[in-house]
Chain A
C-alpha cells in the first residue's frame, strides 16, 4: 500500500492538544500565583516550589491520560482504514457506539465497510455469473451446432465410404478419422466449459464426478480425499473451488507428465483448503505462469482466497487454494 510510506506533514492532534493544555496549565498556575500571592515570587521556599511543580506535573499527566483515551480510537481507525482489505471481508472497528464522536465515526466507518463489502460481493457474483453464462452459451453452441453438423458430416462420409473402391476408400477413412477426432475435441471442450453437476449435486459430489470424468478421459489416475464434514461455502466460492480444481487437473494432464494426481478438499480453519498435486516433474525453474495459472489466480482473487503453487510432497507440482469462511460470510 503506497499510503503507508506517505509523509506526515502535521503535528498530531494528541501532541497539539497535550502541548496547548500543558501551556495553559502553566499559565493558569502563574496567573493564580501572581493574583493570590505576588510577593511569593521573590522568595520561594524549596519545598513550596517542589509541591507546585509536582502538582503541575500531576495535572499535565492526568490531562495526557484523558486525552490519550479520546485520541486512541481515532488512531486505531486510521490504522484499520489503512490495512482494511475488501477481499478479506469481516474486519470491523471495535467499540463502535454512538457515545462519543470517535464512536460515531467508528460506527459510520463500519457501516461504510459493510456497504463496500456488499457491493464487492455483488460485483464478484455478477462477474462470475456472467463468465459462467457465457461459457454455457459457447458450450451449447458447440454442442448443438458444430457437434451436430460434424456428426452429420461423419454420417455422410460413412455412406460414401461404402460406395468407394480402394485406394480412395483408404483416403476417405483417414478423412473420417480426422473428422471424428475434431468431433471428440468439440465434445470435450463443450463438457469442460460447463459447470457440470455443481448446481445439482453440490461441491463434494461435483468434485467426485469431475475427478472420475477426468481420470476416464485423460488416463491420469486421480485419488480423492474429500472431508465428510466441510464448512458451508457460498455459491461463488464453490464455483471457484470447482473451477480451480478443474484447471489444476487440466494442467496435470497437459504439463506434468504424471500418470497420477491427488485431489483433496479439507476443512482447515478458518475455511477449506483444496489441493491438487501430481507426481510429475514439477515446476520448471523460472518458468512464466501460463494462462491456466493466471486464470486460477484471478478466480481466487475474486473471492479473496489464497492460491499457492509449489512443489508437492513427492516432487511434483501442487496447487493449493485456501478459502476462508468467516462467521459473517456463512451467515449471509
Chain B
C-alpha cells in the first residue's frame, strides 16, 4: 500500500490487492468499534475473508487523548479465509494523534502504514495540545508512517452538531470508498446496525456515511479492490467467540447458564441474557464464582446439564466444585475464556495460561475432559460437543477459549441446528433397583446415572470416597477402585479419537504443535516458511485431556518438535536457566510427559495474540539452530 495513485476521472481507479489490515483508533466511546464491525460485516457480505478484533483500553473511561486509552478495532480482510489478526496494519484511521503512540508501541504499524489522522487538534485552542499534535505528526513521519491530516470532524459538523458521536459512520463511509465496497450492501448493513434505534438515527447515520464516502472520493487518492474469496457461497454468520459460545449453549439444548461477572468471559452471558428465553433458557447471575458452579451442578445433578462460563481467577475458585463433579460423576460444561495471569493479571488480554490448571488444578486425582477451541466457529460447535461428552462420559468438560477468540469477529458458515444437537428430555422412567448408581463397566468405567424423579433410583451423591452403591467407603479398596474407574473413562474416550491432521508434510525438519486460538497464526507462519522452501509442518490439538492418539509416531517423523503458545516459559538462554531448571510452556510439559520426546517450546506473554510474522521469525531461528547442529 501507499503507492502513489495515478489520477483519472477525479478519483483513482481501484487497484486490486489480496489483503489489507485496517485499524480505527480513537478515545473510548467514539464508536470506532461499531464502525469497524460494520465495515467487517459489509466486507464479509461481499465475500471477503474477515477477522476483526477490538482494541480495548484497560479502563472503562480513560482520560481523553491518552496513549493508554487507545480504543478501537482492527479489521483484516482478504480474498482468502482469514484466521487471525495478521501482522502490522496497512492503513489506520485515528481520531487523535496520542492513541497512535500506543499502537506504535504495540508494534501495530510498519514503515509505509498509511495514517488518516483527524487534524482538528492542529488548531486546538489549547497550546499544549497544538504542540503535542505537531510533535506527534513529525515523529510519526520520522517513524515511516505516511500521515494524511484530514478535517474529518469539520466535515461531520456539516451534518450533525455532535460529531463526536457521528464521526464513526463518516469514517465507515471513507473506508467503503477506499476499499470499493458495494454501496447497497453498506447501506443495508448500516440499517441493520441501527435497526433498534429508529428511522431518525438510521437516516442520520446514512447521511454521515454518504458524506464520508464522498469526502474520501474527493480527498483521498487511495482506492483498492479486494475480490471475494473463491468458492464463497451459502449463508454465513458473523460473531465473536463469546457470542459463538452463547449460540453453542442454545444449540446444545442446555437450559441454564450460571455465571458470575468476569472479564473477558462475561459477554457470552450478556449475549445469552438477551436471547436465551427464545429457547427456554435462563442465565443465573450467582453471588460468586463458587455459587455459580454449584448452582450449575445442582441443575446438572437434577438432569438438566448446565453450563458455567468463567475466566482464570474464576476457574481457581471453582476447583473444589469441579473436583466434586469429577468425584461424583456429574456432567457439567465449564467454559474458561482465558486471560492473562497469574492473579488479576491482564484481565482484558489473551493468554493460554490455564491449561495445566484445568487439567490438574484440583486436589487429588481429578481426571476430566479438557478441550480447546481453535477458531470462533469451533467455540460454537465445541459447546455442543462438550455437553454430549459430559453426559456420555458422566464427567465435567472444560472448554478452553481465550480473549483472542472472545473479542475476534469472523464470518463462518451458518450452522444448521437439528434435534440431535439438543439435550434430550430428562429420563423419568423407572430405575432398576438392582442397578447401583455407579454401575461401572469394568473396562470403560462408564455407568448411567439415576436422575431425581426416577422411581427406584434414589441414592445419595457424595464427594466422599464411595462404593458403586454411592455409600461412603470405609474400606481400603473402594477409593482405589473409584479412582481407577474415573480415570478409565478418559482412556475410553481417547479410544474414540482420531490422530490429529498434520498441516504440511507428514515429515520434515520441524513440527510446531499448538492449541487454542493460535491455529490461524501458526498455520500462516508455517505456510510462509514452506513457501520459502523450509521443511516445517504444524499440528493443532483440540483434545488436551485425553489427548488425541498417535502423537509420538507423528513427532518421530520430524527432527525437532516444539510448541508455540501464549503462556510463560523460560528462555533457554536466560541466566540460571539450564536443562534442569528450565520451565516449559504448558502444552510442552504435557507433551514431554506424554511422549518422552524432548519437545521444545517458544512462548510469550505480551498480552496480545501471536502474529504470523512473529511465529515465522521464531521458526527461522529454530531452523537455523537445527542447521547449525548439522
Task: Say whether A associates with B.
Answer: no
A: residues with CB less than 8 A from B are none
